[in-house]
């Protein structure tokens, strides 16, 4: 019997840990799972553990030399000068014990989600441990060792021969995925992110549209710093609806970084939790309209792990399983009591943010107008294709 959604998770995913003070903290997974269980929206029977990806699967995207370097680094056998050539041992991507095993488990989790949907076990699948979209063929980057998003897309193309629409709403541009499929007409990438003028990785400009046969299948919406909900959602809804109609995919893969929130310490956007209600709602809708329901969602960035991530990521699962009514009003008391003592910041007590959370920004109208122009520029190629 087909389930409407599969939740891929295991506490082993928390072994992807650079160090105690690194901003990328997988404890956010534990917090989210516990919140979903507290509102009785997730049962143990719905959880499927990830498996480790094989070397052959990793090599769908990554070079063999890079994979071997990651293995050696995790065993403390890779000289630091060699490590740096592979983007390892840097401030962003420090070396930690068994990093290959932890990283391949993340990739295997996203592949597990793929197979669950493509083998007809479920319509949708969620792997919040995934979403590491910055990794390159031969180099780690931006907290990401192996690029599970790119590998999953390559796996979908090779094993199932489907056209993939990849939607990335992380505040950081999904550069690793974009460049992996920049010349592929059967993979369309749409990234909605903060402009690279102020933020890593500095790419994702409107004029990055693909190359060769892939020209016209890369879309970037770089939003101005301090963008708020209304402008962010206009960019998201307008671009997703136009791009999905234009590309006609067989499956949706969405990366759900939750670092566009005002509280996020690494970015400069001013969105509230409201956008994280709306993001999965539209993804769900288009998956059923265009792809017979086929939708795989992964996590991504998000560095306020206490106040933002548990709520934002819970909305994805609640949308997938049609349990939206469980996320209204106050957060569960048992969850708050369990985590308040550990949290370095006061936890929110309600699902939604206070309306006055974001200070008044004098440039609000200017930002909205500029973002609207960027959206129009990004989608111009679609309009021209209809002429």
For residue 55, being part of any structural domain is answered with no
The fraction of the chain above a pLDDT of 90, given in percent, is 97
For residue 345, being part of any structural domain is answered with yes
Asked whether 6 and 125 are in contact (CB, 8 A), the reply is yes
For the stretch 130-149, pLDDT in tens is 999 999 999 999 999 999 99
For residue 292, being part of any structural domain is answered with yes
- Largest Cα–Cα separation, the chain: 60
Which two three-digit tokens encode residue 118? Answer: 């493509």
CATH classification of the domain holding 318: 3.40.800.20
pLDDT at position 383 is: 81
pLDDT at position 384 is: 81
pLDDT at position 98 is: 98
For the stretch 117-134, pLDDT in tens is 999 999 999 999 999 999
pTM here is 0.97
For residue 77, being part of any structural domain is answered with no
Question: Domains in the chain: how many in total?
Answer: 1
For residue 72, being part of any structural domain is answered with no
Please indicate whether residue 172 is annotated as part of the active site: no
For the stretch 323-361, pLDDT in tens is 999 999 999 999 999 999 999 999 999 999 999 999 998
Q: Write phi, then psi, for 205 (nearest 5 degrees).
A: -80, 160
Gyration radius (Cα) of the chain, Å: 20
Give the whole-angstrom CA distance, residue 206 versus residue 198.
Answer: 16
CB neighbour burial string for 95-104, b if at least 16 within 10 angstroms, e if fewer: bbeebbebbb
For the stretch 95-111, pLDDT in tens is 999 999 999 999 999 99
> Which residue range forms the structural domain that includes residue 334?
3-9+20-47+106-135+142-385
For residue 91, being part of any structural domain is answered with no
Residue 386 clears pLDDT 70, i.e. is over it: no
Asked whether 376 and 369 are in contact (CB, 8 A), the reply is no
Which of 134, 172, 193, 261 is catalytic? The answer is 134
Residue 2's pLDDT band (boundaries 50, 70, 90)? low
For residue 114, being part of any structural domain is answered with yes
Q: How many CB atoms are closer than 10 A to CB 232?
A: 25
Residue with tokens 């994280």: 276
């Amino acid at each position: 019997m087909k389930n409407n959604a599969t939740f891929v998770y295991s506490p082993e995913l928390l072994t992807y840990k650079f160090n105690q003070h690194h901003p990328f903290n997988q404890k956010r997974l534990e917090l989210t799972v516990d919140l979903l269980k507290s509102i009785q929206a997730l049962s143990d029977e719905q959880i499927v553990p990830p498996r480790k990806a094989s070397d052959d699967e990793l090599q769908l995207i990554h070079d063999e030399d890079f994979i071997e370097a990651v293995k050696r680094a995790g065993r403390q056998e890779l000289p630091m000068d060699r490590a740096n050539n592979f983007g390892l041992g840097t401030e962003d991507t420090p070396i930690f014990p068994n990093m290959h095993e932890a990283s391949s488990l993340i990739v295997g989790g996203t592949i597990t989600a793929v197979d669950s949907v493509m083998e007809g076990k479920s319509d949708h699948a969620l792997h919040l441990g995934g979403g590491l979209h910055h990794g390159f063929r031969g180099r780690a980057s931006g907290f990401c060792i192996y690029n599970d998003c790119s590998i999953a897309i390559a796996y979908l193309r090779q094993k199932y021969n489907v056209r993939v629409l990849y939607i990335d709403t992380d505040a950081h541009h999904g550069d690793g995925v974009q460049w992996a499929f920049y010349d592929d007409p059967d993979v369309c990438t749409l990234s909605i992110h903060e402009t690279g003028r102020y933020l890593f990785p500095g790419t994702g400009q409107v004029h990055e549209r693909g190359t060769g046969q892939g020209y016209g299948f890369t879309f970037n919406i770089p939003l101005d710093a301090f963008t708020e909900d209304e402008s962010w959602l206009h960019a998201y809804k307008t671009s997703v609806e136009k791009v999905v109609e234009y590309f006609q995919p067989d499956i949706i893969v969405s990366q759900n970084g939750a670092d566009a929130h005002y509280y996020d310490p690494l970015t400069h956007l001013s969105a509230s939790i409201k956008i994280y209600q709306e993001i999965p709602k539209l993804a769900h809708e288009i998956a059923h309209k265009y792809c017979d329901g086929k939708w795989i969602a992964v996590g991504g960035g998000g560095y306020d792990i206490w106040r933002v991530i548990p709520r934002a990521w819970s909305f994805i699962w609640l949308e997938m399983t049609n349990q939206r009514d469980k996320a209204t009003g106050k957060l569960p008391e048992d969850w708050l009591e369990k985590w308040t003592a550990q949290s370095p910041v006061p936890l929110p007590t309600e699902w939604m943010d206070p309306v006055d959370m974001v200070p008044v920004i004098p440039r609000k109208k200017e930002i909205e107008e500029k973002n609207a122009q960027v959206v129009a520029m990004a989608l111009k190629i679609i309009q021209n294709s209809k002429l």
